């Protein structure tokens, strides 16, 4: 009888212990992701300091400054803004989220806010480069968050081709359409649940914190308040 009771208790406790271990591992992965994002945020602020407060937003072409290109120049002693390493970002460990399954091949695990809005909060298209001094609420405006999964490798095959360059690959990791945030699994470009009930995020002032899913999906938090009209 005693042995049976002990066996029963073990059967009850083992799944709970396994769940606790996995929760602890995910907490560690989330912390590592946040550390990477804080490094990226600091690097992008350094870029802005050196270039009259201008921040990369939607990168529409290979020769336009993308956020991975700008940040890598300040985090990797081998990199600079004017030449490519040619490793397809393999050496850029700081651009990867340990909570993301990288089996799909992507080496950049974050995407930035390239969304433009009008004064009524309506989406209008790609966001031009932003000067930080012009952003009224930089502390509260999303700049960068988790890239979604690519389970079938659809986008990986389009990007990481034999003739691809670092800079060409990097321009993909932007959000420039509303559906990239609020769409479905076929067209959304972010993962608002990367770390359970939310994801880590960098803001336009460079700081990084964990935000809940509902906050990330609220388009108002992607509107930097900088309008051209």
d(Cα 223, Cα 213) in Å, to the nearest integer? 17
How high is the pLDDT of residue 145?
Answer: 98
Residue with tokens 């073990």: 10
Find how far residue 138's CA is from the centre of its chain: 17
Q: What is the band of 13 on the pLDDT scale with cuts at 50, 70, 90?
A: very low
Structure tokens at 196: 């359970």
- Quote the pLDDT of residue 29: 93
Task: Tell me the pairing of strands 110-113 and 174-175.
Answer: parallel
pLDDT at 21: 74
pLDDT reading at 222 higher than 50: yes
Residue 87 has a CB neighbour count (10 Å cut-off) of 12
- For a pLDDT cut of 90, what percent of the chain falls above it? 77
pLDDT reported for residue 7: 47
DSSP the chain: -HHHHHHHHHHHHHHHHHHHHHHHHHHHHHHHHHHHHHHHHHHHHHHHHHTTTEE-----STTSPPHHHHHHHHH-TT--SSS---STTTT-GGG--TTS-GGG--S--EEEE-EEE-TTS-EEEEPPPEEGGG-TTGGGSEEEEEB---TT-HHHHHHS-TT--HHHHHTTSEE-STHHHHS-TTT--B-TTTTSSEEEEEETTS-EEEEEHHHHH-GGGG--S----
Q: Give the CA count within 13 Å in the CB-facing half-sphere of 1.
A: 0
Instruction: Kindly tell me if the per-residue pLDDT of 185 is higher than 90.
Output: no
Average confidence (pLDDT) over 123-133: 90
Q: What is the pLDDT of residue 20?
A: 61
**In the structure encoding, which two tokens stand for residue 38, read together?**
């804080």
pTM of the model: 0.89
Confidence grade of residue 208 (pLDDT, cut at 50, 70, 90): very high
Mean pLDDT value across the chain: 90
């Amino acid at each position: 009888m005693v042995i049976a009771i002990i066996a029963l208790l073990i059967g009850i406790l083992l799944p709970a212990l396994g769940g606790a271990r996995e929760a602890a591992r995910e907490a560690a992965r989330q912390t590592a992701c946040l550390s990477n994002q804080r490094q990226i945020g600091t690097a992008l602020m350094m870029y802005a300091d050196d270039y009259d407060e201008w921040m990369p937003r939607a990168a529409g072409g290979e020769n336009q400054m993308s956020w991975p290109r700008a940040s890598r120049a300040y985090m990797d002693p081998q990199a600079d803004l004017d030449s490519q390493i040619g490793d397809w970002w393999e050496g850029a460990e700081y651009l990867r989220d340990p909570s993301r399954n990288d089996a799909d091949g992507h080496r950049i695990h974050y995407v930035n806010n390239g969304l433009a809005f009008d004064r009524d909060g309506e989406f209008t298209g790609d966001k031009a480069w932003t000067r930080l001094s012009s952003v009224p609420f930089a502390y509260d405006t999303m700049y960068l968050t988790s890239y979604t999964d690519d389970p079938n490798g659809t986008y990986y095959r389009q990007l990481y081709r034999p003739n691809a360059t670092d800079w060409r690959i990097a321009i993909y990791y932007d959000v420039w359409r509303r559906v990239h945030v609020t769409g479905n699994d076929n067209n959304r470009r972010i993962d608002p649940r990367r770390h359970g009930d939310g994801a880590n995020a960098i803001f336009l002032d460079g700081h990084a914190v964990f935000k809940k899913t509902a906050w990330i999906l609220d388009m108002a938090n992607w509107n930097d308040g900088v309008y051209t009209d």
